[in-house]
């Protein structure tokens, strides 16, 4: 161990043993760091959870065709002519066909529906997706967790597990009024926690009839032969006249949406956390200045004995870093306990309610923790510098 | 009696100038101070309050530097050294005893005494042996684990002396070491300094207000208006 390290350690030890004399101000420093770290952890966990929910939703092996020049389902429209044209294509499009050579596809439409909650008059906007019977099979990782799928042409719905868990009126066999029609809950499905679990699925024609959308199709889903083979499909679509058509991998569709929203959450969270950091840094500066001023005679004494400036600097900075480390640990621990797995909801895809879980991951904790340490480092630097530059004779006279 | 044998005084101050600036005004304390001290001498410095005794001692300790003139101790020109060189010079050549002991309250007596040894390439075991030896020397054997706050003033000052000599420096500087002690404790401390000078050959410079304390020294210097007048003790 080098001499400077030994000097630093013994000074740090004396600092820490002296902490009880500066308890209130030291605790307040740690707690303000904890608060900043907890707030940032909360926002980052929200963004992360949102990303995870939507990331799971999209499969790279499924192509979504959109029409009308938009790159999301909302506002997309594919005309019956275009659908006929696509179905008539006999070239190799790189997509899965059935034994008869017909495309395995699902025409889909998403309708926002208001669910009246029992008791109070409030409502929630949910996404009701009408689809062909092949629709569920065109999603990866779908599993029926209760009951059965909807029957073609019938007024039956299957409800995502997350919605079913959130609203008591979605038990299998229950009747639910959506729009002007009563629907029967035929089953529940799970998609491993992804955004689809916030949707309600039903037969395409039943939805179109129930909401007066006859003949409308927003998107067409196809299964790709392989995730890399979307190019032939794109090429074939450009030959279709009439409305402009776009083919996009389902994964990309949701990634684009999750990216926007997650960025928005971060864009909101970071400035708040940074603004609070400014206050916490000022607090840290104040705490450490008072620590140095309490230890003026001690520092001057050991410096007179021959201790180096570097040791005085390092011991003070180390005290600041330790206090902020304790604060960061408290902040991470409490936000993990409070937020991790917490249900949150937001307006997700298709302007409908989407539920997801806050996710306090390792990189969320590391990022927030580093901000906490930065507060200690920045707040401690100036006092550490003051400790190193302490004028010895004046400090020793101060005792008298 | 200690005319130095190698014609080279241990401490040599030539034409030392030193002043303090208060606002725009510079108040001179020394303007051309000369002083030589032989190796193994024991010098008491007396003088009225504000005459510059502590300022002189601080310059000898290497924690204050003269504005002009030469300050040599042994083979080192302290006036020409930078802060880090003086810091390392202090660690290896000088021990200091303060009027108010300046012990670190959070550390035990032994840990306080150990501080200067942390600057030396010694193992923890070697340090412990040295600390125990000096605590024994100052009459505090077995008190190493005690905290300063639980000790009397005289005991605390003996811890201070132990800390000053543990690294075996040639020079011992004391600024009113008995200023805060009762007569009995003061006598113990003075006897200890006399022993360190006589039996261990330490060069000692001691600032004091107390003529009784000054009588323990071999030489007494009176500092007034920035100059010395000397008077030799009978001791
Ligand atoms: N850091 C400083 N800033 C301004 N003036 C100082 C400073 N240190 C000492 N002085 C002044 O220099 C003069 C000498 O001070 P010094 O402490 O050396 O005196 P002293 O002889 O030790 O006095 P005392 O017997 O009271 O301890 C005093 O007038 C003092 O006010
Ligand atoms: Mg003085």
Size of interface A-B (CB pairs under 8 A): 73
Q: Which ligand places an atom closest to the C-alpha of B46?
A: 1
Is residue B114 within 8 A of residue B133, CB to CB? The reply is no
**Which CATH number fits the domain that encloses residue B208?**
3.40.50.300
Are A309 and A267 members of one domain? yes
Has residue B50 been placed in a domain?
A: yes
Res A137: pLDDT: 86
Cα distance between residue A187 and residue A164, in whole Å: 10
Res B4: pLDDT: 46
- Name the least confident of A85-94, A111-120, A141-150, B183-192: A111-120
- Give phi and psi for B138, each to the nearest 5: -90, 10
Q: Which ligand places an atom closest to the C-alpha of B98?
A: 2
Are A44 and A66 members of one domain? no
- B88 to chain A: closest CA residue: A306
B156 lies within 8 A of chain A by CB: no
Are A139 and A282 members of one domain? no
Average pLDDT over residues A29-48: 93
Whether the predicted pLDDT of B3 surpasses 60: no
Average pLDDT over residues B8-22: 92
Are A337 and A277 members of one domain? yes
Whole-model pTM above 0.95? no
Whether the predicted pLDDT of A378 surpasses 90: yes
Average pLDDT over residues B226-233: 73
Res B231: pLDDT: 65
Average pLDDT over residues B97-124: 95
Are A235 and A330 members of one domain? no
Decide if B163 and A305 are in contact by the 8 Å CB cutoff.
Answer: yes
| B3–chain A nearest CA distance, Å | 30
Cα distance between residue A150 and residue A43, in whole Å: 38
Are A190 and A262 members of one domain? no
Select from B159, B134, B137 the least CA-distant residue to B146: B159
Res A3: pLDDT: 86
Domain extent for B161: 40-62+88-232
Domain end (from A200, A219, A251): A251
Res A350: pLDDT: 54
Whether the predicted pLDDT of A93 surpasses 80: no
Which two structure tokens, joined as six digits, stand for B200?
Answer: 């261990």
Are A312 and A271 members of one domain? yes
Decide if B119 and A303 are in contact by the 8 Å CB cutoff.
Answer: no
| A386–chain B nearest CA distance, Å | 15
Residue among B90, B100, B105 whose CB faces A306 most closely: B90
Percent of chain A exceeding pLDDT 90 equals 39
Atom of ligand 1 nearest to the CA of B176: 27
Has residue B218 been placed in a domain?
A: yes
Contacts of A399 in chain B (CB under 8 A): 100, 102
Are A230 and A297 members of one domain? no
A263-282: pLDDT as tens digits: 888 898 999 999 999 999 99
- Number of structural domains chain A divides into: 2
Whether the predicted pLDDT of A180 surpasses 60: yes
Cα→Cα distances A293→A231, A300, B107, B127, B202, Å: 70, 11, 19, 30, 35
Are A209 and A265 members of one domain? no
Are A45 and A91 members of one domain? no
Distance B49 CA to ligand 2 centre (A): 7
Q: pLDDT band for position B235 (50/70/90)?
A: very low
Is residue A161 within 8 A of residue A190, CB to CB? The reply is yes
Q: What rounded mean pLDDT belongs to chain A?
A: 86
B48-69: pLDDT as tens digits: 998 999 999 999 999 999 999 9
Cα distance between residue B155 and residue B140, in whole Å: 8
Res A264: pLDDT: 86
Whether the predicted pLDDT of A120 surpasses 90: no
B189-209: pLDDT as tens digits: 999 999 999 999 999 999 999
Contacts of A396 in chain B (CB under 8 A): 58, 63, 98, 102
Are A301 and A184 members of one domain? no
Contacts of A393 in chain B (CB under 8 A): 55, 58, 63-64
Average pLDDT over residues A314-341: 93
Are A274 and A310 members of one domain? yes
Domain end (from A251, A286, A310): A251
Cα distance between residue A202 and residue A129, in whole Å: 6
Average pLDDT over residues B225-229: 84
Whether the predicted pLDDT of A199 surpasses 70: yes
Strands (DSSP E) found in B74-139: 76-77, 94-97
H/E stretch holding B44: strand B42-46
Whether the predicted pLDDT of A138 surpasses 90: no
Whether the predicted pLDDT of A121 surpasses 70: no
Question: In 3-state terms, what secondary structure has residue B66?
Answer: coil
- Number of structural domains chain B divides into: 1
A342-353: pLDDT as tens digits: 766 665 555 555
Domain extent for A126: 62-251
Average pLDDT over residues A208-229: 86
- Name the least confident of A107-111, A392-396, B50-54, B120-124: A392-396
Whether the predicted pLDDT of B93 surpasses 80: yes
Has residue B113 been placed in a domain?
A: yes
A140-173: pLDDT as tens digits: 888 888 899 999 888 999 998 888 888 888 889 9
Res A157: pLDDT: 92
Distance B223 CA to ligand 1 centre (A): 13
Domain end (from A231, A251, A271): A251
Res A348: pLDDT: 56
- Name the least confident of A245-249, A255-259, B10-14, B220-224: A255-259
């Amino acid at each position: 161990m080098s001499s400077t390290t030994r000097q630093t350690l013994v000074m740090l030890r004396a600092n820490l043993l002296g902490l009880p004399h500066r308890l209130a101000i030291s605790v307040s420093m740690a707690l303000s760091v904890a608060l900043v770290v907890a707030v940032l952890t909360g926002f980052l966990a929200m963004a992360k959870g949102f990303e995870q929910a939507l990331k799971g939703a999209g499969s790279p092996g499924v192509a979504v065709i959109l029409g009308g020049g938009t790159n999301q389902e909302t506002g997309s429209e594919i005309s019956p002519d275009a659908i006929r044209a696509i179905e008539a294509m006999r070239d190799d499009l790189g997509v899965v066909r059935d034994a008869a050579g017909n495309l395995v596809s699902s025409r889909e439409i998403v309708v926002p529906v208001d669910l009246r909650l029992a008791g109070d008059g409030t409502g929630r906007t949910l996404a009701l997706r009408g689809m062909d019977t092949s629709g569920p099979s065109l999603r990866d990782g779908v599993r029926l967790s209760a009951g059965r799928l909807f029957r073609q042409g019938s007024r039956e719905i299957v409800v995502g597990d997350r919605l079913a868990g959130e609203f008591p009126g979605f038990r299998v066999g229950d009747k639910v009024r959506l729009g002007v029609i009563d629907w029967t809950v035929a089953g529940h499905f799970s998609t491993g926690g992804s955004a689809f679990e916030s949707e309600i699925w039903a037969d395409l024609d039943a939805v179109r009839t129930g909401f007066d959308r006859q003949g409308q199709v927003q998107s067409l889903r196809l299964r790709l032969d392989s995730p890399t083979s979307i190019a032939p499909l794109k090429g074939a679509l450009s030959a279709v006249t009439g409305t402009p058509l776009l083919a996009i991998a389902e994964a990309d569709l949701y990634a684009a949406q999750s990216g926007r929203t997650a960025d928005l959450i971060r864009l909101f969270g970071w400035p708040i956390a940074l603004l609070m950091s400014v206050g916490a840094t000022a607090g840290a500066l104040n705490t450490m200045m008072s620590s140095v001023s309490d230890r003026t005679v001690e520092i001057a004494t050991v410096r007179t004995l021959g201790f180096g400036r570097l040791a005085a600097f390092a011991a003070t900075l180390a005290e600041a870093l330790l206090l902020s480390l304790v604060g960061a640990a408290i902040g991470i621990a409490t936000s993990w306990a409070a937020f991790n797995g917490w249900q949150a909801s937001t307006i997700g895809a298709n302007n409908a309610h989407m539920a997801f879980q806050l996710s306090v991951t390792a990189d969320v904790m590391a990022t927030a923790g580093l901000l906490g340490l930065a507060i200690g480092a920045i707040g401690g630097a100036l006092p550490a510098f003051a400790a190193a530059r302490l004028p010895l004779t004046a400090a020793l006279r101060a005792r008298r | 009696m200690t005319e130095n044998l190698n014609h080279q005084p241990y401490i040599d101050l030539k034409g030392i100038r030193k002043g303090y600036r208060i606002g725009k005004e510079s108040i001179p304390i020394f303007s051309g101070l000369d002083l030589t001290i032989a190796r193994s001498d024991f010098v008491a410095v007396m003088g009225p309050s504000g005459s510059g005794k502590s300022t002189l001692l601080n310059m000898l300790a290497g924690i204050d530097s003269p504005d002009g003139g030469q300050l040599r101790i042994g083979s080192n020109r302290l006036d020409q050294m930078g802060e880090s060189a003086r810091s390392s010079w202090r660690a290896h050549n000088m021990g200091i005893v303060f009027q108010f002991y300046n012990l670190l309250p959070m550390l035990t007596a032994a840990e306080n005494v150990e501080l200067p040894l942390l600057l030396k390439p010694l193992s923890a075991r070697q340090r412990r042996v040295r600390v125990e030896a000096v605590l024994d020397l100052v009459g505090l054997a077995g008190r190493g684990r005690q905290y300063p706050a639980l000790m009397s003033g005289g005991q605390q000052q003996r811890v201070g002396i132990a800390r000053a000599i543990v690294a075996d420096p040639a020079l011992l500087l004391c600024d009113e070491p008995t200023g805060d002690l009762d007569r009995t404790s003061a006598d113990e401390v003075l006897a200890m300094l006399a022993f360190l000078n006589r039996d261990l050959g330490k060069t000692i410079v001691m600032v004091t207000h107390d003529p009784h304390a000054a009588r323990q020294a071999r030489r007494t210097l009176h500092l007034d208006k920035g100059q010395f007048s000397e008077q030799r003790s009978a001791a």
